[in-house]
Chain A
Amino acid sequence: MIERLFDLVNADAALVRRGRFLTTDFLVEVGDEPFHVSVQDGRIASVTRGPAPARPWRFAIRASAEAWREFWRPVPRAGYHDLFALTRFGHASIEGDLLPLMANLRYIKDVLAAPRRLGRSD
Protein backbone atom coordinates (compact mmCIF):
# COMPACT_ATOMS: atom_id res chain seq x y z
CA MET A 1 0.00 0.00 0.00
CA ILE A 2 2.69 2.46 1.00
CA GLU A 3 4.48 1.96 -2.30
CA ARG A 4 1.45 3.48 -4.00
CA LEU A 5 2.35 6.86 -2.48
CA PHE A 6 4.53 7.61 -5.51
CA ASP A 7 1.55 7.53 -7.88
CA LEU A 8 -1.12 8.77 -5.50
CA VAL A 9 0.75 11.85 -4.29
CA ASN A 10 2.43 12.85 -7.53
CA ALA A 11 -0.89 12.73 -9.38
CA ASP A 12 -2.45 15.10 -6.84
CA ALA A 13 -1.48 18.62 -7.92
CA ALA A 14 -2.98 20.28 -4.83
CA LEU A 15 -1.08 17.97 -2.51
CA VAL A 16 2.21 18.46 -4.35
CA ARG A 17 1.70 22.23 -4.22
CA ARG A 18 1.03 22.04 -0.46
CA GLY A 19 4.36 20.32 0.04
CA ARG A 20 6.36 22.39 -2.45
CA PHE A 21 8.73 23.74 0.22
CA LEU A 22 9.49 20.31 1.64
CA THR A 23 12.45 18.19 0.69
CA THR A 24 13.15 15.46 3.22
CA ASP A 25 13.42 11.76 3.86
CA PHE A 26 11.29 9.88 6.34
CA LEU A 27 10.74 6.31 7.35
CA VAL A 28 7.42 4.50 7.53
CA GLU A 29 7.39 1.13 9.21
CA VAL A 30 4.55 -1.24 8.49
CA GLY A 31 5.05 -3.87 11.12
CA ASP A 32 8.66 -5.00 10.75
CA GLU A 33 8.97 -3.73 7.23
CA PRO A 34 10.62 -0.34 6.69
CA PHE A 35 9.80 1.94 3.78
CA HIS A 36 12.09 4.85 3.07
CA VAL A 37 10.10 7.75 1.61
CA SER A 38 12.00 10.49 -0.16
CA VAL A 39 10.22 13.81 -0.78
CA GLN A 40 11.55 16.37 -3.26
CA ASP A 41 9.72 19.73 -3.46
CA GLY A 42 6.45 18.10 -2.47
CA ARG A 43 6.74 15.23 -4.94
CA ILE A 44 7.47 11.69 -3.85
CA ALA A 45 10.88 11.03 -5.40
CA SER A 46 10.99 7.41 -4.27
CA VAL A 47 9.58 4.84 -1.90
CA THR A 48 12.19 2.22 -1.11
CA ARG A 49 11.16 -1.02 0.50
CA GLY A 50 13.35 -2.91 2.93
CA PRO A 51 16.25 -2.00 5.18
CA ALA A 52 18.52 0.71 3.83
CA PRO A 53 21.56 0.69 6.13
CA ALA A 54 23.20 4.06 6.71
CA ARG A 55 20.52 5.84 4.71
CA PRO A 56 19.44 8.83 6.78
CA TRP A 57 15.91 9.94 7.59
CA ARG A 58 14.60 12.91 9.57
CA PHE A 59 11.67 11.24 11.29
CA ALA A 60 10.10 7.81 11.49
CA ILE A 61 6.49 6.72 11.88
CA ARG A 62 6.01 3.15 13.00
CA ALA A 63 2.80 1.15 13.34
CA SER A 64 1.68 -2.42 12.99
CA ALA A 65 0.38 -3.70 9.66
CA GLU A 66 -3.02 -4.05 11.30
CA ALA A 67 -3.02 -0.41 12.46
CA TRP A 68 -2.09 0.84 8.99
CA ARG A 69 -4.78 -1.36 7.46
CA GLU A 70 -7.36 0.28 9.73
CA PHE A 71 -5.89 3.73 9.07
CA TRP A 72 -6.20 3.26 5.30
CA ARG A 73 -9.88 2.30 5.29
CA PRO A 74 -11.88 4.82 3.23
CA VAL A 75 -13.76 5.87 6.39
CA PRO A 76 -11.54 4.67 9.24
CA ARG A 77 -13.05 3.87 12.56
CA ALA A 78 -12.50 6.01 15.62
CA GLY A 79 -9.00 5.76 17.03
CA TYR A 80 -7.48 4.82 13.66
CA HIS A 81 -8.56 7.90 11.71
CA ASP A 82 -5.60 10.20 12.34
CA LEU A 83 -1.84 10.00 12.84
CA PHE A 84 -2.15 11.40 16.37
CA ALA A 85 -5.11 9.20 17.18
CA LEU A 86 -2.80 6.28 16.39
CA THR A 87 -0.08 7.59 18.69
CA ARG A 88 -2.55 8.65 21.42
CA PHE A 89 -3.84 5.09 21.71
CA GLY A 90 -0.44 3.43 21.34
CA HIS A 91 -1.01 2.07 17.83
CA ALA A 92 1.87 4.09 16.36
CA SER A 93 5.00 5.92 17.38
CA ILE A 94 6.79 8.93 15.95
CA GLU A 95 10.46 9.60 16.52
CA GLY A 96 13.36 11.60 15.18
CA ASP A 97 13.44 15.26 14.22
CA LEU A 98 9.83 16.38 14.27
CA LEU A 99 10.45 19.85 12.84
CA PRO A 100 9.88 18.96 9.16
CA LEU A 101 6.86 16.91 10.19
CA MET A 102 5.24 19.67 12.23
CA ALA A 103 6.09 22.42 9.76
CA ASN A 104 4.40 20.40 7.01
CA LEU A 105 1.89 18.54 9.12
CA ARG A 106 -1.12 18.80 6.87
CA TYR A 107 0.97 17.68 3.90
CA ILE A 108 2.47 14.69 5.71
CA LYS A 109 -0.91 13.68 7.10
CA ASP A 110 -2.44 13.88 3.64
CA VAL A 111 0.43 11.90 2.13
CA LEU A 112 0.03 9.14 4.72
CA ALA A 113 -3.74 9.10 4.21
CA ALA A 114 -3.52 9.04 0.40
CA PRO A 115 -4.03 5.24 0.16
CA ARG A 116 -7.55 5.74 1.56
CA ARG A 117 -8.50 6.88 -1.91
CA LEU A 118 -7.89 3.42 -3.28
CA GLY A 119 -11.10 2.43 -1.51
CA ARG A 120 -9.81 -0.87 -0.25
CA SER A 121 -8.32 -1.90 3.02
CA ASP A 122 -6.00 -4.69 1.91
Chain B
Amino acid sequence: MAARIEPIAGRYVHLTLGGRDCRVYFEEAGVGIPLLCLHTAGSDGRQFRHLMNDAAVTDHFRVIAFDLPWHGKSTPPAGWEDEEYKLTTAAYVEAVMTFSRALDLDRPVVMGCSMGGRIVLELAAGHARELSAVIGLEAADHQTPWYDTEWLHRPDIHGGEVCAALVSGLVGAPAPDEHRWETLWGYMQSGPGVFKGDLYFYRVDSDFRERVAGIDTRACPVHLLTGSYDFSCTPEDTLRTAAKIKGAQAAIMEGLGHFPMSEDPARFREYILPVLDKLRAARSGPR
Protein backbone atom coordinates (compact mmCIF):
# COMPACT_ATOMS: atom_id res chain seq x y z
CA MET B 1 0.00 0.00 0.00
CA ALA B 2 1.29 3.43 -0.90
CA ALA B 3 2.32 5.63 2.00
CA ARG B 4 0.21 8.68 2.65
CA ILE B 5 2.53 11.53 1.75
CA GLU B 6 1.14 15.05 1.88
CA PRO B 7 1.68 17.44 -1.04
CA ILE B 8 3.45 19.96 1.22
CA ALA B 9 7.13 20.57 0.49
CA GLY B 10 9.49 22.44 2.84
CA ARG B 11 12.75 24.24 2.05
CA TYR B 12 15.06 26.88 3.50
CA VAL B 13 15.87 30.25 2.00
CA HIS B 14 18.54 32.66 3.21
CA LEU B 15 17.37 36.24 3.61
CA THR B 16 19.20 39.31 4.81
CA LEU B 17 16.98 40.85 7.47
CA GLY B 18 18.10 43.72 9.67
CA GLY B 19 21.48 43.41 7.97
CA ARG B 20 21.92 39.83 9.16
CA ASP B 21 21.73 36.47 7.46
CA CYS B 22 18.60 34.59 8.41
CA ARG B 23 17.93 30.98 7.52
CA VAL B 24 14.20 30.92 6.93
CA TYR B 25 12.06 27.83 6.60
CA PHE B 26 9.02 27.79 4.37
CA GLU B 27 6.48 25.26 3.21
CA GLU B 28 4.31 25.31 0.14
CA ALA B 29 1.74 23.39 -1.84
CA GLY B 30 -0.37 24.09 -4.89
CA VAL B 31 -0.13 26.08 -8.10
CA GLY B 32 -1.58 29.38 -9.19
CA ILE B 33 -2.00 32.69 -7.43
CA PRO B 34 0.59 33.03 -4.65
CA LEU B 35 -1.12 32.96 -1.24
CA LEU B 36 1.44 33.97 1.33
CA CYS B 37 0.39 32.96 4.85
CA LEU B 38 1.61 34.57 8.07
CA HIS B 39 1.39 32.66 11.34
CA THR B 40 0.28 34.00 14.71
CA ALA B 41 2.56 35.30 17.47
CA GLY B 42 4.52 32.60 19.26
CA SER B 43 3.74 29.86 16.76
CA ASP B 44 4.79 28.91 13.22
CA GLY B 45 3.70 28.16 9.68
CA ARG B 46 2.37 24.68 10.44
CA GLN B 47 -0.88 26.42 11.33
CA PHE B 48 -1.66 26.50 7.59
CA ARG B 49 -1.13 22.80 6.89
CA HIS B 50 -4.83 22.13 6.37
CA LEU B 51 -5.13 24.77 3.65
CA MET B 52 -2.10 23.23 1.95
CA ASN B 53 -3.83 19.86 1.96
CA ASP B 54 -7.09 21.19 0.55
CA ALA B 55 -7.36 20.71 -3.22
CA ALA B 56 -10.13 23.30 -3.39
CA VAL B 57 -7.42 25.79 -2.41
CA THR B 58 -4.27 24.32 -3.95
CA ASP B 59 -5.83 23.78 -7.40
CA HIS B 60 -5.88 27.55 -7.75
CA PHE B 61 -3.41 28.94 -5.23
CA ARG B 62 0.24 28.38 -4.49
CA VAL B 63 -0.03 28.37 -0.71
CA ILE B 64 3.21 29.38 0.99
CA ALA B 65 3.91 29.82 4.71
CA PHE B 66 7.25 30.80 6.17
CA ASP B 67 8.38 30.74 9.76
CA LEU B 68 9.57 34.14 10.92
CA PRO B 69 13.14 34.13 12.27
CA TRP B 70 13.08 32.76 15.87
CA HIS B 71 9.96 30.69 15.03
CA GLY B 72 9.38 27.09 14.00
CA LYS B 73 12.29 25.79 11.95
CA SER B 74 13.74 29.23 11.21
CA THR B 75 16.69 29.75 13.51
CA PRO B 76 17.34 33.05 15.24
CA PRO B 77 20.16 35.05 13.61
CA ALA B 78 23.66 34.51 15.00
CA GLY B 79 24.19 36.43 18.21
CA TRP B 80 20.66 35.81 19.47
CA GLU B 81 21.87 34.35 22.72
CA ASP B 82 22.53 37.80 24.19
CA GLU B 83 19.49 39.55 22.77
CA GLU B 84 15.97 40.14 23.95
CA TYR B 85 13.83 39.33 20.93
CA LYS B 86 11.37 42.10 20.08
CA LEU B 87 9.47 42.18 16.81
CA THR B 88 8.75 45.63 15.36
CA THR B 89 6.50 46.80 12.56
CA ALA B 90 9.54 47.70 10.46
CA ALA B 91 11.20 44.32 10.96
CA TYR B 92 7.98 42.45 10.26
CA VAL B 93 7.31 44.34 7.02
CA GLU B 94 10.92 43.78 5.98
CA ALA B 95 10.64 40.04 6.62
CA VAL B 96 7.42 39.60 4.63
CA MET B 97 8.43 41.74 1.66
CA THR B 98 11.98 40.36 1.51
CA PHE B 99 10.63 36.81 1.52
CA SER B 100 8.08 37.63 -1.17
CA ARG B 101 10.69 39.24 -3.42
CA ALA B 102 13.23 36.48 -2.80
CA LEU B 103 10.72 33.92 -4.07
CA ASP B 104 9.69 36.17 -6.98
CA LEU B 105 6.07 36.04 -5.92
CA ASP B 106 3.94 37.95 -8.40
CA ARG B 107 1.55 40.18 -6.47
CA PRO B 108 0.69 37.62 -3.80
CA VAL B 109 -2.43 37.57 -1.72
CA VAL B 110 -1.09 37.92 1.82
CA MET B 111 -3.14 36.28 4.52
CA GLY B 112 -2.09 36.67 8.14
CA CYS B 113 -3.64 35.66 11.44
CA SER B 114 -3.61 37.68 14.67
CA MET B 115 -0.32 39.60 14.54
CA GLY B 116 -0.19 38.42 10.92
CA GLY B 117 -3.62 39.95 10.48
CA ARG B 118 -2.34 43.16 12.00
CA ILE B 119 0.67 43.42 9.69
CA VAL B 120 -1.38 42.84 6.53
CA LEU B 121 -3.09 46.16 7.30
CA GLU B 122 0.28 47.89 7.22
CA LEU B 123 1.21 45.99 4.04
CA ALA B 124 -2.03 47.09 2.38
CA ALA B 125 -1.30 50.68 3.39
CA GLY B 126 2.35 50.74 2.38
CA HIS B 127 2.91 48.06 -0.28
CA ALA B 128 -0.38 47.83 -2.18
CA ARG B 129 1.33 47.82 -5.57
CA GLU B 130 3.23 44.64 -4.80
CA LEU B 131 0.18 42.75 -3.53
CA SER B 132 -3.09 41.70 -5.10
CA ALA B 133 -5.08 41.60 -1.85
CA VAL B 134 -4.77 40.99 1.88
CA ILE B 135 -6.80 38.77 4.16
CA GLY B 136 -6.69 39.55 7.86
CA LEU B 137 -7.77 36.70 10.11
CA GLU B 138 -8.49 37.82 13.68
CA ALA B 139 -7.28 41.22 12.56
CA ALA B 140 -7.75 44.68 14.00
CA ASP B 141 -5.92 47.98 14.01
CA HIS B 142 -5.19 47.84 17.75
CA GLN B 143 -5.45 45.51 20.73
CA THR B 144 -6.76 46.00 24.23
CA PRO B 145 -4.31 44.00 26.44
CA TRP B 146 -5.94 41.27 28.52
CA TYR B 147 -2.94 40.03 30.54
CA ASP B 148 0.56 41.04 31.53
CA THR B 149 3.14 39.64 29.10
CA GLU B 150 5.75 39.49 31.88
CA TRP B 151 4.28 36.09 32.80
CA LEU B 152 5.40 34.65 29.46
CA HIS B 153 9.14 34.53 30.05
CA ARG B 154 10.55 34.04 33.53
CA PRO B 155 12.50 31.24 35.15
CA ASP B 156 9.88 30.15 37.67
CA ILE B 157 7.15 29.49 35.11
CA HIS B 158 7.44 27.12 32.16
CA GLY B 159 7.16 29.37 29.12
CA GLY B 160 5.65 26.84 26.74
CA GLU B 161 3.07 25.73 29.28
CA VAL B 162 1.95 29.22 30.23
CA CYS B 163 1.85 30.51 26.65
CA ALA B 164 -0.37 27.61 25.60
CA ALA B 165 -2.53 27.85 28.72
CA LEU B 166 -3.09 31.56 28.19
CA VAL B 167 -4.11 31.26 24.56
CA SER B 168 -6.09 28.06 25.11
CA GLY B 169 -9.19 30.10 25.82
CA LEU B 170 -8.90 31.81 22.45
CA VAL B 171 -9.77 28.56 20.70
CA GLY B 172 -13.48 28.39 19.92
CA ALA B 173 -15.48 26.23 22.32
CA PRO B 174 -16.78 23.92 19.55
CA ALA B 175 -13.30 23.22 18.08
CA PRO B 176 -12.44 19.51 17.70
CA ASP B 177 -10.03 18.35 20.43
CA GLU B 178 -7.48 17.03 17.95
CA HIS B 179 -7.09 20.40 16.27
CA ARG B 180 -7.40 22.40 19.48
CA TRP B 181 -4.47 20.58 21.01
CA GLU B 182 -2.33 20.65 17.90
CA THR B 183 -2.82 24.41 17.80
CA LEU B 184 -1.73 24.68 21.43
CA TRP B 185 1.25 22.39 20.83
CA GLY B 186 2.62 25.08 18.52
CA TYR B 187 2.63 27.48 21.48
CA MET B 188 4.18 24.92 23.79
CA GLN B 189 7.07 24.53 21.33
CA SER B 190 7.86 28.19 20.93
CA GLY B 191 11.34 29.33 22.01
CA PRO B 192 11.75 31.18 25.32
CA GLY B 193 10.58 34.78 25.10
CA VAL B 194 9.50 34.54 21.46
CA PHE B 195 5.77 34.91 22.08
CA LYS B 196 6.50 37.81 24.40
CA GLY B 197 8.75 39.41 21.78
CA ASP B 198 6.04 39.07 19.14
CA LEU B 199 3.60 40.75 21.47
CA TYR B 200 5.92 43.75 21.59
CA PHE B 201 4.91 44.29 17.98
CA TYR B 202 1.28 43.38 18.62
CA ARG B 203 0.73 45.54 21.67
CA VAL B 204 3.33 48.30 21.59
CA ASP B 205 4.57 48.93 18.05
CA SER B 206 1.50 48.51 15.86
CA ASP B 207 -1.24 50.91 16.79
CA PHE B 208 -2.68 51.36 13.31
CA ARG B 209 -5.84 53.18 14.35
CA GLU B 210 -4.78 56.21 12.34
CA ARG B 211 -2.99 54.26 9.63
CA VAL B 212 -5.81 52.07 8.29
CA ALA B 213 -7.90 54.93 6.92
CA GLY B 214 -5.14 55.42 4.33
CA ILE B 215 -5.66 51.98 2.78
CA ASP B 216 -6.90 52.12 -0.82
CA THR B 217 -8.90 48.93 -1.33
CA ARG B 218 -9.10 49.58 -5.07
CA ALA B 219 -5.34 49.04 -5.18
CA CYS B 220 -5.33 46.29 -2.55
CA PRO B 221 -8.63 44.71 -1.51
CA VAL B 222 -8.96 43.96 2.21
CA HIS B 223 -10.91 41.01 3.62
CA LEU B 224 -11.25 40.57 7.38
CA LEU B 225 -12.54 37.39 9.02
CA THR B 226 -12.81 37.02 12.79
CA GLY B 227 -14.08 34.18 14.96
CA SER B 228 -16.98 34.77 17.31
CA TYR B 229 -15.05 33.22 20.25
CA ASP B 230 -12.00 35.46 19.87
CA PHE B 231 -11.71 37.72 22.90
CA SER B 232 -8.18 38.88 22.04
CA CYS B 233 -9.21 40.38 18.72
CA THR B 234 -12.94 40.60 19.25
CA PRO B 235 -15.51 40.70 16.47
CA GLU B 236 -16.16 44.29 17.54
CA ASP B 237 -12.46 45.13 17.10
CA THR B 238 -12.52 43.78 13.56
CA LEU B 239 -15.79 45.45 12.59
CA ARG B 240 -14.54 48.75 14.02
CA THR B 241 -11.38 48.41 11.91
CA ALA B 242 -13.29 47.48 8.76
CA ALA B 243 -15.56 50.48 9.18
CA LYS B 244 -12.52 52.74 8.88
CA ILE B 245 -11.28 51.16 5.64
CA LYS B 246 -13.43 52.19 2.72
CA GLY B 247 -14.33 49.11 0.70
CA ALA B 248 -13.08 46.55 3.22
CA GLN B 249 -15.07 43.33 3.53
CA ALA B 250 -15.56 41.88 7.00
CA ALA B 251 -17.32 38.79 8.31
CA ILE B 252 -17.66 37.11 11.69
CA MET B 253 -17.05 33.37 11.72
CA GLU B 254 -19.49 31.67 14.09
CA GLY B 255 -17.98 29.10 16.44
CA LEU B 256 -14.38 29.86 15.59
CA GLY B 257 -11.73 31.46 17.78
CA HIS B 258 -8.36 33.10 17.30
CA PHE B 259 -6.72 30.33 15.21
CA PRO B 260 -9.38 29.48 12.63
CA MET B 261 -7.14 27.75 10.07
CA SER B 262 -5.68 25.32 12.59
CA GLU B 263 -8.27 24.98 15.37
CA ASP B 264 -11.21 23.97 13.17
CA PRO B 265 -10.17 23.60 9.52
CA ALA B 266 -13.53 22.27 8.31
CA ARG B 267 -15.46 25.18 9.75
CA PHE B 268 -12.86 27.68 8.52
CA ARG B 269 -13.01 26.55 4.91
CA GLU B 270 -16.70 27.46 4.79
CA TYR B 271 -15.63 31.06 5.33
CA ILE B 272 -12.30 31.22 3.50
CA LEU B 273 -13.23 29.45 0.25
CA PRO B 274 -15.77 32.10 -0.82
CA VAL B 275 -13.18 34.82 -0.16
CA LEU B 276 -10.56 32.98 -2.20
CA ASP B 277 -13.09 32.45 -5.02
CA LYS B 278 -13.78 36.16 -5.04
CA LEU B 279 -10.08 37.02 -5.18
CA ARG B 280 -9.53 34.52 -7.98
CA ALA B 281 -12.36 36.03 -10.03
CA ALA B 282 -10.96 39.53 -9.47
CA ARG B 283 -7.46 38.45 -10.46
CA SER B 284 -8.61 36.86 -13.73
CA GLY B 285 -10.68 39.93 -14.63
CA PRO B 286 -9.40 43.25 -15.95
CA ARG B 287 -7.13 45.22 -13.68
Q: Quick check: is A1 within 8 A (CB to CB) of the other chain?
A: no
- A88–B126 CA distance with the chains assembled, in angstroms: 32
Q: How many interface residues does A have (CB within 8 Å)?
A: 20
Spot the interface stretch: A28-36, A45-53, A54-62, A72-80.
Answer: A72-80
A65 within 8 A of B: no
Residues in A neighbouring B147, C-beta threshold 8 A: 84
User: Which residues between 56 and 100 of chain A lie within 8 Å of chain B, taking CB atoms?
Assistant: 75-79, 81-85, 87-89, 98-99
Interface size of B by Cβ–Cβ distance < 8 Å? 21
CB distance from A83 to the nearest CB of B (A): 7
Distance in angstroms between the alpha carbons of A67 and B220 in the assembled complex: 43
A109 lies within 8 A of B168 (CB):
yes
**Which residues of B lie under 8 Å from residue A87 when comparing CB positions?**
146
Q: Report yes or no: B146 in contact with A102, Cβ–Cβ below 8 A.
A: no
- Minimum CB–CB distance from B180 to chain A (whole Å) comes to 12
Least distance between B235 CB and chain A CB atoms (Å): 8
Q: Answer yes or no: B161 CB below 8 A from chain A CBs.
A: yes
What 0/1 readout, one digit per residue, does chain B (221-257) give for beta carbons within 8 Å of chain A? 0000000110100000000000000000000000000
Chain B residues contacting A109 (CB-CB under 8 Å) are: 165, 168-169
CA distance A81 to B172 in the complex (A): 8
* Chain A residue, CB-CB nearest to B157: A103
Interface residues of B, Cβ cutoff 8 Å to A: 144, 146-147, 151, 156-158, 161-162, 164-166, 168-170, 172-174, 228-229, 231
**Selected A-B contacts with CB under 8 Å, 13 pairs:** A75-B174, A77-B173, A78-B231, A81-B172, A81-B173, A82-B169, A82-B170, A89-B231, A103-B158, A105-B161, A105-B166, A106-B168, A109-B169
